[in-house]
Amino acid sequence: MAVLAPAPVSTAPVPGRKRLSRALSERRTRFGLLNAAPVVVYLLLLFVYPIFSILMLSLKGESGGFTLHWYTDAFQGANLEILLTTLRISAETSLLSLVIGFVLAAAVSRLKPLWAGLVMVVVVVPHFISALVRTYGWIILLGEHGVVNNALTDLHVPGAPFQLLYNELGVVIGTTSVMLPYTVLLLYAVMKGIDRRLMAAAASMGAGRLTIFRRVYVPLVAPGLVNAGILCFILCLGYYITPALMGGPKQTMVASLIDTQVMKQDQWNGASALGIVLLLLTFAGLLLLRVLKSAGERYRNRGTAS
Amino acid sequence: MPETHVMSEPSLAAPAALAGSGKALSVQRLRKTYAGVTAVDEVSMEIAAGEFVTFLGSSGSGKTTTLMMIAGFCEPDSGSIVVGGNDVTRLAPQKRGLGFVFQQYLLFPHMTVWENVAFPLQLRGVSKAEQRRRVGETLEMAGLSKMARRRPRELSGGQQQRVALCRALVYRPPVILMDEPLGALDKKLRDQLQTEIKRIQQELGLTVIYVTHDQEEALVLSDRIAVMRDGRIDQFDTPQELFERPRTPFVADFLGAANFLPGRVEEQSADHTLVRLDTGGLLKARPQAAPDGARVRAAVQPGRLLLCPAGDGFCTGTVETVTYVGTLVRVTVRPLGAAHTDLVRLELPAGHAPALGARVDLAADTANVSVFPDAEDGG
């Protein structure tokens, strides 16, 4: 089972260029291109152009001319630390959202449709409220004399009140609550698509609950876990409000740093470089997604009989 | 999902020993009601090792519910299920050590054919080498060796069901349960797989309980058939017995699509019952305890009716329809002599078809005619 075999590759010759030109000469294709034109113009103007100009800004020296100075800056000292903190908090948040999201989605997917719908509304509705309001809500709950700490103190929990705000714990709690709807929705969709009778089939041949979970359920949910995890991670990388309000100075994330550089220091070049770094990290995340997917595919296609 | 479950397979090594002991499965007075409606009503049966038993019935007859209770997917209200000497009535499905083949195949989509079949062996801690040998053998037997690396979705329905079959028998469970396994396949494939299932079952001496609503399938496959109706077993017998000596009108109708001819008992003797049909003729049937003059229905299957010279038969009528069905011809005859009677259906060899509108006389062997008291409604 451990023998790796190369995935079967289609070796049929593809007359690439010929096919392209034939496709272009087709009426339907030309019509399609015409339809896409407004969107293409829109994206070029409002998306590609700004990113391109930011890229140019990040490569421009203070006295003009080309420089990589802003990038070496981004990867040095305090900036590097902020970058690493961002990556760490994003990873922690993704992991926590995945775990909670998995449990929640698994529970909801077993409920009757009416109840499932109700729970999903409860999960998603907070998302419609302004992130600022939501964050202040958390601050009220988690403060030193907030609801949570008061309850814990009244119950004489040793060590209470706890420091639940203005540290990494606070940031992770806050961002996780923001990310949870994404993971729950993604995982719920995958879980709903799993034929529950597969578990019955596994049980019929002698698999216990834990084995069924490990060998059948989790592998079937795995693609959803990868998707949800990467999405969470990417969203977290550039997240701003919650970390800024619920974290301390040690939890400054890249987005806050960019904000400081632009708003307080009028330092557009450095901020641009950081923005490009975030963009590249996002691409790296998406690339990781593809790599994991093809690795999963290869793993599944691994040789068996030999 | 909490609860760590420790695998215990007391029944794994059992089949060889079981074959000697004779009894593979015993069901006693099984009962199940759903919201006040009785789905299975006091079903009891003994199944010998190596036997192919079919639960035959239409939907709602309780056949699937009975199977699900044996598998452990549904808990009986009362009664007991004993597999190889162990009472498993209250055991979870995974602890019963049985095999199950589902109508929808239910192969694991994330595993290859090979992994699907190896899965139950892995659960039982079978060594890698042994897994390789047994999975290889099993796939070979089912003609699937070349498909081992494929995924279920790359296979046709028939191939998928073959894999499911392999997966259910690779660990040699004492009893394999099959819930309409060929229900989703087309006719030709079904016939082919029937032959294959029968061959494998006989080759390996498997004990199989098979559920179907298709009487032809039941007749082809089974050593014994339990004909079920309204949650009860109407008759549990060999196909031949069911076909030739149906105990209830339902069995006669369901298996043989019998003609029911109303009449009165005219004479009783040790070797026959004479029935005066409403159409006027006299029909000799197998002996049946019924008082003289009692209203009865004589049942005779279409294939057991013969054409005979005028005056020799129990019924004269005119041919209404003639339909060719391959080597057979189906004929319906309207009996003369009574205003409101059902058409009589016959099946004759294709060469012997009478002409439309012809006047024919019908006869039947005494041994092929059953008599049922009219009070019992066959539905």
How far apart are alpha carbons A93 and A103 in whole angstroms? 15
What's the Cα-to-Cα distance from B34 to each of B69, B88, B142, rounded to whole Å?
13, 21, 39
* Chain A residues with beta carbon closer than 8 angstroms to that of B181: none
Instruction: Output the six-digit token pair for A46.
Output: 């409002």
- Going by the DSSP 8-state scheme, the letter that residue B293 receives in this structure is T
Q: pLDDT at residue B21 above 70? A: no
Q: How far is A12 from chain B (nearest CA, A)?
A: 20
| Residue A44 CB neighbour total at 10 angstroms | 11
Contact between A273 and A257 under an 8 Å Cβ cutoff? The reply is: no
> In the prediction, which pLDDT does A33 show?
84
> In the prediction, which pLDDT does B31 show?
95
| Residue A209 sits at the chain B interface (C-beta within 8 Å) | yes
Residue B53, classified by CB atoms within 10 Å of its CB into exposed (0-12), middle (13-18) or buried (19+), is buried
Q: Which of B123, B149, B167 sits opposite A211 (nearest CB)?
A: B123
Q: Which helix (H) or strand (E) holds A113?
A: helix A113-124
Q: Which helix (H) or strand (E) holds B107?
A: none
CB pairs under 8 A between A and B: 99
| Residue A210 CB neighbour total at 10 angstroms | 15
Q: pLDDT at residue B268 above 60? A: yes
Q: Where are the alpha helices (DSSP H) in B235-286?
A: 239-244, 249-256
In this prediction, the residues of chain A whose per-residue pLDDT falls under 50 are 1-13, 303-306
Mean pLDDT of all residues in B188-212? 94
Q: How far is A189 from chain B (nearest CA, A)?
A: 17
Interchain pair A202, B119: CB under 8 A: yes
> In the prediction, which pLDDT does B339 show?
64
Considering the entire predicted model, what is its pTM? 0.79
> In the prediction, which pLDDT does B350 show?
84
Q: Which one of A195, A204, A214, A297 would you mutate to disrupt binding with B, by most B Cβ within 10 Å of its Cβ?
A: A204
- The one-letter code for the residue type at A209 is R
Interchain pair B73, A200: CB under 8 A: yes
Task: List the Cα angle B97/B99/B105 in 5-degree steps.
Answer: 145
How far apart are alpha carbons A226 and A291 in whole angstroms? 11
Mean pLDDT of all residues in B226-253? 92
Contact between B375 and B257 under an 8 Å Cβ cutoff? The reply is: no
How far apart are alpha carbons A82 and A252 in whole angstroms? 6
Task: Tell me which chain B residue has its CA closest to the CA of residue A200.
Answer: B73
Interchain pair B106, A305: CB under 8 A: no
> In the prediction, which pLDDT does A126 show?
83
Three-state secondary structure call for residue B265: strand
How far apart are alpha carbons B270 and A41 in whole angstroms? 99
Stronger pLDDT, B74 or A19, i.e. the higher one: B74
What share of chain B has pLDDT > 70, as a percent? 92
Q: How far is B175 from chain A (nearest CA, A)?
A: 12
* Chain B residues with beta carbon closer than 8 angstroms to that of A226: none
* Chain B residues with beta carbon closer than 8 angstroms to that of A202: 94, 108, 119
How far apart are alpha carbons B76 and B94 in whole angstroms? 17
Contact between B285 and B370 under an 8 Å Cβ cutoff? The reply is: yes
Q: Which helix (H) or strand (E) holds B45?
A: strand B37-48
> In the prediction, which pLDDT does B15 show?
43
> How, if at all, do strands B259-268 and B295-300 pair?
antiparallel
Per the DSSP assignment, residues forming a β-bridge with B225 are B54, B237
How far apart are alpha carbons B194 and B172 in whole angstroms? 20
* Chain A residues with beta carbon closer than 8 angstroms to that of B153: none
Task: Tell me which chain B residue has its CA closest to the CA of residue A196.
Answer: B106
Buried b / exposed e across B329-368, counting CB within 10 Å, b at 16+?
bbbbbebeeeeebeebbbbbeeeebbeeeeebbbbbeeeb
Interchain pair A203, B108: CB under 8 A: no
Contact between B26 and B79 under an 8 Å Cβ cutoff? The reply is: no
Residue B346: CA atoms inside 13 Å, Cβ hemisphere, count?
28
Interchain pair B106, A206: CB under 8 A: no
Q: pLDDT at residue B290 above 90? A: no
What's the Cα-to-Cα distance from B127 to each of A155, B100, B123, B347, rounded to whole Å?
54, 23, 11, 57
> In the prediction, which pLDDT does A92 show?
96
Q: Write out B314-357 in H/E/C secondary structure.
A: CEEEEEEEEEEECCEEEEEEEECCCCCCCCEEEEEEHHHCCCCC
- Among B365, B364, B378, CA closest to B247: B378
> In the prediction, which pLDDT does B9 show?
38
How far apart are alpha carbons A268 and B349 in whole angstroms? 96
> In the prediction, which pLDDT does A301 show?
65
| Residue B81 CB neighbour total at 10 angstroms | 22
Instruction: Output the six-digit token pair for A171.
Output: 């940031």
Cα B307 from chain centroid? 31
> How, if at all, do strands B176-179 and B208-212 pair?
parallel
Q: Which one of A211, A304, A306 would you mutate to disrupt binding with B, by most B Cβ within 10 Å of its Cβ?
A: A304
Per residue in B151-184, pLDDT (tens digit) is: 999 999 999 999 999 999 999 999 999 999 999 8
Q: Which of B97, B104, B108 sits opposite A206 (nearest CB)?
A: B97
